[in-house]
């Protein structure tokens, strides 16, 4: 089978209007080219006369122009035919394109962990526990606090010291000692502790409780070695020395 493109003159059957026009033009040009068999005679006649030469040149130019037009139109038509046939002969490409367009869209994979979390049933709520059924924490009590701040107040310390010292000067050594003890229990860390101790030592000496007086005097000297009342305490001890 020949692979040459088909010629317009060989086509049969009903053809497009352009092909029919081209076929008619080719037949006309072929009829006009019939005298070309006598071309040598025409050329010889052209040598003999100017008129014959002009006629031959015009006829040759017309023929060449017609053939050029025919060739251009034929080439255009053949290219169009081949293009249509090539597209019609490739159904595979059309089917592949259609199959590609019709291919289903694959959804992205779903995280199995997120799916399990979404479908997991919620945990049941815990039942409320009555407050009365809860265990009671035992709290150990610390040592008892001392008396209130009002009882421990030393605001009247000066008055109490003066009262005890006045009782001692008045000869009431027992009353002075009682005032000192009561105030020491109420205000153990006052500002005039040294004065209170000095009054107590002197009251014990006047009451004849010399052992208690000497023991209390030694404790005073050890506790307040630089006290201004230390000299008075030593004089009391020396005064009641055996």
- Residue 65 dihedral angles phi and psi, to the nearest 5°: -65, -40
- Residue-level pLDDT at 92: 44
DSSP structure string for 208-236: T-HHHHHHHHHHHHHH-TT-TTHHHHHHH
Regions of the chain where pLDDT drops below 50:
52-55, 83-85, 87-92, 94, 96, 98-99, 102, 118, 148, 150-151
pTM of the model: 0.39
Cα separation values, 20 from 8, 26, 32, 124, 171, Å: 9, 10, 18, 91, 167
Token digits for 224?
């307040």
> Quick one: DSSP state of residue 131?
G
Give the number of other Cβ atoms within 10 Å of residue 62's Cβ. 13
- Residue-level pLDDT at 194: 94
Look-up: residue for tokens 């526990």?
129
Token digits for 83?
């293009």
């Amino acid at each position: 089978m020949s692979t040459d493109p088909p010629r317009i003159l060989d086509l049969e059957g009903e053809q497009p209007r352009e092909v029919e026009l081209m076929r008619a033009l080719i037949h006309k040009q072929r009829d006009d080219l019939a005298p070309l068999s006598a071309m040598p005679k025409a050329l010889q006649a052209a040598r003999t006369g100017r008129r014959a030469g002009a006629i031959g040149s015009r006829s040759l130019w017309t023929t060449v122009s017609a053939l050029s037009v025919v060739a251009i139109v034929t080439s255009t038509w053949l290219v169009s035919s081949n293009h249509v046939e090539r597209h019609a002969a490739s159904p595979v490409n059309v089917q592949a394109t259609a199959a590609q367009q019709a291919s289903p869209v694959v959804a992205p994979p779903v995280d199995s962990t997120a799916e399990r979390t979404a479908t997991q049933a919620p945990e049941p709520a815990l039942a409320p526990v009555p407050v009365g059924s809860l265990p009671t924490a035992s709290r150990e009590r610390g040592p008892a606090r001392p008396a209130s701040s009002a009882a421990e107040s030393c605001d009247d310390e000066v008055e109490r010291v003066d009262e005890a010292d006045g009782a001692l000067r008045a000869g009431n050594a027992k009353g002075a000692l009682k005032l000192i003890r009561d105030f020491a229990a109420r205000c153990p860390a006052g500002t005039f502790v040294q004065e209170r101790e000095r009054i107590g030592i002197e009251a014990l000496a006047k009451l004849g409780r010399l052992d208690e007086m000497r023991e209390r005097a030694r404790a005073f000297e050890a506790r307040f070695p630089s006290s201004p009342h230390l000299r008075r305490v030593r004089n009391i001890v020396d005064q009641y020395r055996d």
